Structure 1
Amino acid sequence: MRKTAIILGATGLTGNIILNKLIEDARYDTIKLFSRSKIEGLPNKVEQYIGDLLNIEDFKLDFEADEVYCCIGTTAKKTPDKNLYKKIDYGIPVKAAKLSKENNISTFLVISAMGANRNSNVFYNKTKGKMERDVLQQNIKNTFVLRPSLIGGKRKERRLLEKIGLAVFQVIEPLFIGKLKQYKVIDAETIAVAMINLANSTSNAEVIITSSDIKQISKNN
């Protein structure tokens, strides 16, 4: 039986790659996008639900699928208001996980970040850490929390500081050996492939996956 997938954040870098891959994947006959704006030119197998994801619970009747890919995330530059930042980076994934649990969706994948720690003094890391904790508390059968390092790829929007950071990382990457391997830049394509591989794996577990493990999982076909 073919599957239905939900993507949150399909207009972003990793989410858009997942979307394009699932469109071509014969295992899926329906892809549901929940977002603030419509993406034009998509095939009939893609259903789009437009609205405010801060109130994602309003989509409850349509929020049904075999798996959820949560690729939601913002930046301090785009969202300087910390309250709004938390509503996006913490609130949306946690609400989506609760909705998935209520609607008996058995697989939930979410992108977090390296350094996520609910006890951290750094706002960004603490927000991600609390998100992970509360997503895992839903006890969805297959829960995969991915913690990538700095994500590489061509973005639609310009992020100057991130671009500089990527350039610096690429220069010093050859020095990253042993435990430092996990800090290497990871391409959004690699994350997308790993998430799809995980969603179609036979494991039934709640798993936190580091950046180096993401790269290895992306190689499994």
Structure 2
Amino acid sequence: MGQTAIVIGATGVVGREVVAELITCEAIARVITLTRRPVPCDSDKVENHVVDFARLEDWADCFQADLLFSCLGTTLKQAGSLEAQRRVDIDHQLSAARLAAAQGVTHYLLVSSSGAN
């Protein structure tokens, strides 16, 4: 039986590519995408959940998986303020990591922007 992968940030450029790669990977049986808006997908492997990232704990059951790919991020311009950008780039990432760890996820892969510190 294949592994289950979670992708947060699946609507962005990198996230879409990660999902596309996971769909073609024979070792992956299921891909759970957690997004702010619905994401249509032609693959039976993909299960999309529309979530409020500020209340990510409400979707704790969705974190029962083997792998977590975090492609979630924003720009200052998109976020509108440094505080809002921090919520997306740090707080939501940390919440997802904690939920995944509590559910036994063993691999967490974080995609960050170049030059981030």
Superposition TM-score tier, normalisation by shorter sequence:
over 0.9
Is residue 110 from structure 1 mapped to residue 110 from structure 2 by the alignment?
yes
1:94 aligns to what?
94
**Could you tell me how far apart the structure 1 residues matched to 2:114 and 2:35 are?**
25
Give the structure-2-normalised TM-score: 0.92
1:57 aligns to what?
57
Pick closer, same or farther for the CA change 1:24–1:105 going to 2, 3 Å. same
**Could you tell me how far apart the structure 2 residues matched to 1:45 and 1:54 are?**
26
Tell me the secondary structure at the aligned position of residue 31 of structure 2: strand
Deviation at 1:115, TM superposition (A): 3.9
**Could you tell me how far apart the structure 2 residues matched to 1:110 and 1:41 are?**
23
Deviation at 1:61, TM superposition (A): 1.5
1:154 aligns to what?
none
2:46 aligns to what?
46
Tell me the secondary structure at the aligned position of residue 93 of structure 1: helix
Q: Which amino acid aligns with 1:19?
A: V
Higher relative contact order (CA 8 A, sep 6+): 2
Q: Which amino acid aligns with 1:6?
A: I
Q: Which amino acid aligns with 1:72?
A: L
Q: How many residues are aligned here?
A: 117
Q: Spell out structure 1 runs of 4+ moving beyond 4 A.
A: none
Q: Which amino acid aligns with 1:61?
A: D
Give the structure-1-normalised TM-score: 0.51
RMSD of the TM alignment (CA)?
1.3
Q: Which amino acid aligns with 1:82?
A: L
Structure 1: stretches of 5+ with no match in the other structure: 117-124, 126-221
Q: Which amino acid aligns with 2:50?
A: I
Q: Which amino acid aligns with 1:59?
A: W
1:8 aligns to what?
8
Deviation at 1:77, TM superposition (A): 1.2
Is residue 35 from structure 1 mapped to residue 47 from structure 2 by the alignment?
no
Q: How does 1:1-221 map to 2 (within 5 A)?
A: 1-116=1-116, 125=117
Residues 15, 71 of structure 2: 8 Å contact kept: yes
1:137 aligns to what?
none
Residues 63, 105 of structure 2: 8 Å contact kept: no
Q: Which amino acid aligns with 2:89?
A: D
Structure 2: stretches of 5+ with no match in the other structure: none
**Could you tell me how far apart the structure 2 residues matched to 1:33 and 1:59 are?**
12
